[in-house]
């Protein structure tokens, strides 16, 4: 009987330790395989954040797939940041790209039509800048 108890305790300790180890070393999840919670155009997402900052909270910490034209791409440094939106406007969706797939971004040019999915970290509106919605850990969305 004592032996069984000891064995159970041992298993529990090992399992707990293994879980703690895994949890401690867990990296941010790759979003490639994730089904997006929302799908919309860059213009739509921007206008939702422009109109109502309270209602826009439902998009924060959610995976959003966004379609749009590349307004600018910043390949200088890490990570690459791609802005989707209307070239004539200040507002944009800023996509901070997942560095794992950095090679996939090299051929992207301004004006390309793209679908990108990423974790929404929020929006910000500045007088001179328009409204920006920011997505993190973004990957190219292959449909």
**Interface pick for other proteins out of 63, 132, 139, 141 (rule CB under 8 A):** 132
In 3D space, the residue among 19, 127, 130 whose CA is nearest the CA of residue 71 turns out to be 130
**Interface pick for other proteins out of 25, 103, 109, 142 (rule CB under 8 A):** 25
**Interface pick for other proteins out of 45, 56, 67, 92 (rule CB under 8 A):** 92
Buried b (16+ CB within 10 A) or exposed e, 120-142: bbbbeeeeeebbbbbbbbbbbbe
Separation of CA 8 from chain center: 41
Tokens 């309270």: give the residue. Answer: 54
Binding to other proteins (CB under 8 A) within 30-59 occurs at none
Binding to other proteins (CB under 8 A) within 61-80 occurs at 61, 74, 76-79
Stretch of 3-11, 26-34, 36-44, 108-116 lying at the interface with other proteins (CB under 8 A) = 26-34
Q: Rounded CA gap, 112 and 71, in Å?
A: 9
Q: Rounded CA gap, 141 and 17, in Å?
A: 37
Q: Cβ 62 to other proteins, closest distance in Å?
A: 12
**Interface pick for other proteins out of 31, 66, 134, 139 (rule CB under 8 A):** 134
Q: Rounded CA gap, 9 and 29, in Å?
A: 32
Where do contacts with other proteins occur on this chain (CB under 8 A)? 23-29, 60-61, 74, 76-79, 81, 83, 92, 94, 96, 121-122, 124, 126, 128-129, 132, 134, 136-137
């Amino acid at each position: 009987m004592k032996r069984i108890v000891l064995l159970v305790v041992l298993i529990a300790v090992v399992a707990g330790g293994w879980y703690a180890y895994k949890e401690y070393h867990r990296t941010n999840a790759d979003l490639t395989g994730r089904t997006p919670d929302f799908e919309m155009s860059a213009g739509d997402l921007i206008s939702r954040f422009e109109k109502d900052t309270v209602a826009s909270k439902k998009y924060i910490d959610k995976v959003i797939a966004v379609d749009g034209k590349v307004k600018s791409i910043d390949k200088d440094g890490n990570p690459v940041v791609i802005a989707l939106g209307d070239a004539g406007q200040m507002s944009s969706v800023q996509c901070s790209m997942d560095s794992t797939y950095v090679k996939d971004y090299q051929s992207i040019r301004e004006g390309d039509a793209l679908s990108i999915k990423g974790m929404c970290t929020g929006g910000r509106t500045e007088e001179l800048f328009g409204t920006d919605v920011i997505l993190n850990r973004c990957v190219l969305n292959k449909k």
